[in-house]
Every structure is written in C-alpha cells, then in structure tokens.
Amino acid sequence: MESSILVWNMRGLCDANKRGRIKRIIGRRKPLIVGLVETKWDHCNVTSISSISGSRNYGWAAKNAVNSCGGIAAYWDQSRFRELNIKESNYFLAIELFDTMVSKYWNLVIVYGPQSRDDKIAFLLELNRLCQQLNEPICIMGDFNLVRSHDDYRGARRDWNLMMEFNEFVDNNTLMELPLGGSRFTWSRGGSNECFSRIDRAFISADFDSIYHDCTLIALERIESDHNPLLLKWGGDLRIKRPWKFENMWLEDPRFYDGLSSWYGDVISGQGMIFLCARRLQHIKNKIKHWNKEVFGDVNARISGLLTRISESDKLEEAQQLDDSQRRSRDLLKIELGRLLNLIEIS
C-alpha cells in the first residue's frame, strides 16, 4: 500500500480562498501526513487544521507563528498513526509517531530554517542536539534555508562555510538525503534578479529506511507558493475505486439543468413505486456520469494537464530565463488552475 508524507512551505495560510485551493491540491495526493511550514498562524487550532485537512479524523500539532512570522503545523491520519510525544523549538516541530500498520515508533521533524547566518548556526546546533536525543528512526523534512553544494543554487550568493557546517551535521548524524525527483530546485524568485535554490530537503536515518523500503522524494508543482511541495512516498500503488459523489461544480453550468430536466422525464419501465424511484435515480446517475465525461469534461484530467504544463514551464525557467510571453502564459495556466480548483469542491 502506497503511503506518503507531504511537506510544503506555504508563505502564509491566512487567506481563506488560498486555504481552499491548498486543501484541494493536497487532497488530490492523499498523503497520510502533512507538514505546513511558514503558516503565519499566530494561534493555530483545530479549526485552522480542518480548513486544510477537511473532515477526516486527523491528529495534529503546531508551533505558532510570532507576530505572523514563521509557524509550523502538521496533521496525520489517526487511523494509521498515533502521536506519543511532541517537541517544538524556534526552528522545528518534532512528533514521535507509532505506525499501527507496522507496529513501529519513529520521529518526524518538520523544520523551518532561519535567514541570518548566526541563526543558521544556532539552528544546526539545536537540530543536532535533537538528533542525538532521539532513539527511534527519524525523518527530517522542511525548508532548511541552507544548501549543501554549489549545484543547489543559481543566481544567488551562498556561504561556503555554512555548506560545510550543514554537511557536517548530516555526516555526524549518519543521515541519508533522499534524491530529489521532479525538479532540480525547490524555491525560486522571479523577476529581473531571478534566483533558484534547493533549500527544501528530506533526510532519513538508516533504521527509517529499514522500516519503509524504497522511499522516494518528489518535488511537486510550484503553485500557490514560491516553494515546491515535497512528497515522500513508500510502498506499492494501491488503486481504490472512487465512490460516486455529486459535485457542486456541475451547478455552475446551465447545461446541467437542461440535461437534468430531460433525464428526469425519460420513460422508466417497471412495477412498484419504490422500484421505479430507484431505477429513475440510477438512470439519472448514469446520465450525469456520461454528461460529466463527454460534455462538462473531466476536471481532474484538466487539472492534471495544467499541473504538467506549469511544471514544464518551471523546468524550462530553471534551464533558461523565460521571456515575458512565456511568463504570461504560465500565469494564465495558474489562473485557470485556480478556477478549476475552486470548482472541484465536493458536496
């Protein structure tokens, strides 16, 4: 069974419309654990978490922002994981979890690295102390605001000594960095002074790898933030048939009402009021499914297509500077994606 952890620097989650779009983007991936970095939530509570997670049975933990700066939040599927201990510091949120499927304990550490050089040193020292204290397997993910080599950035100056300090921390704690797929960089700044860097990362210990074999790390599409979400996956691909549900987006299309009136008027044969009612409802359901596919269009397929085109544009930008026309085309793709994400709310 495929399982995954998604961690994403959000650049703020105070806007309700943005939270709605993020909720639908994350929901498409169905991660068991989600970490949100730079939430800018001064007072995170269950309502804040449910605005992203939805109505499922999730456990959660949070490190509040200070004057709307920073902030880390996490939630997890309680049918699979149980939290035993939660620690927080200026730079991380650490959660000890018990995986009921494999009966193993492990630690998830979500980090948000600081900007200044002195604070970066303090961050690495604090993270090193935490790793020395933890006995169970460990997975560290998030925005480190640090790079490990010159290949990790383009168009920005970096401190060689900080790279050495970061690599020393990794080596001292015998951590393994997961290779990144999907994108070379995880953060970008556009404009005339464009920069790219790989500052969002994932590290695991050897004993974590022994529990969850074949871990892979993918940088997802860079939308709603200047950071790519990171998706850590393990296990096989289990395809579950999605139950049919009525979708509010159909009500936005006038053709739906014309079709519904026509389908309800179709002749249904049979005897007995209950039987006829059930047959009519099944008939309407089948007509809606056909209409959704052939007339309205598969919105999920359209969203996937837009994400692919946005990702291709981002990769092109990493290789060469985009011209104004290419930037405008990508902006239009993101606007259309936002429109579809707003449509796809399910009743």
**Per-residue pLDDT tens over the stretch 92-103:** 999 999 999 999
18: nearest Cα among 347, 346, 301, 334: 334
Q: Residue 97 contacts by C-beta under 8 Å, 6 or more apart in sequence?
A: 33, 76, 81, 82, 83, 84, 105, 106, 107, 108
The pLDDT of residue 243 is 64
Judge whether residue 240 has pLDDT over 50: no
The beta strands (E) that lie in the chain are given as 3-9, 33-37, 58-63, 72-77, 81-88, 92-99, 104-112, 138-143, 153-154, 176-177, 180-181, 187-189, 195-197, 200-204, 216-219, 230-234
Beta bridge pairs of residue 44: none
Sheet strand arrangement including 195-197? 153-154, 195-197, 187-189
Q: Where does the pLDDT of residue 272 fall: very low under 50, low under 70, confident under 90, or very high at 90 and above?
A: low
The pLDDT of residue 346 is 47
Lowest mean pLDDT among 182-191, 242-251, 297-306, 335-344: 242-251
Name the residue with higher pLDDT: 193 or 240. Answer: 193
- pLDDT tens for 21-71 read 999 899 889 999 999 999 999 999 999 999 999 866 899 999 999 988 999
The pLDDT of residue 284 is 86
The mean of the pLDDT values for the chain is: 87
Judge whether residue 341 has pLDDT over 70: yes
- Would the pTM of this model clear 0.85, i.e. be above it? no
Question: If you average pLDDT over residues 112-131, what whole number do you get?
Answer: 95
The pLDDT of residue 9 is 97
If you ran DSSP here, which 8-state letter would residue 294 be given? I
Question: If you average pLDDT over residues 124-145, what whole number do you get?
Answer: 94
The pLDDT of residue 311 is 83
The pLDDT of residue 347 is 40
How far apart (Å, rounded) are the C-alpha atoms in residues 129 and 92?
Answer: 12
Q: Where does the pLDDT of residue 344 fall: very low under 50, low under 70, confident under 90, or very high at 90 and above?
A: low
Residue whose structure tokens are 């654990």: 33
The pLDDT of residue 242 is 55
pLDDT > 70 fraction of the chain, expressed in percent and rounded: 91
CATH 3.60.10.10-classified regions of the chain = 3-234
Judge whether residue 345 has pLDDT over 60: no
The pLDDT of residue 237 is 47
Q: Give the chain's radius of gyration (CA, Å).
A: 23
| The length of the chain, given as a count of residues | 347
The pLDDT of residue 239 is 43
How far apart (Å, rounded) are the C-alpha atoms in residues 173 and 176?
Answer: 9
The pLDDT of residue 281 is 84
The pLDDT of residue 193 is 67
Start-to-end CA span in the chain (Å):
28
Choose which CATH entry (3.60.10.10, 3.10.450.50, 3.60.21.10, 3.40.50.300) describes domain 3-234. 3.60.10.10
The pLDDT of residue 304 is 78
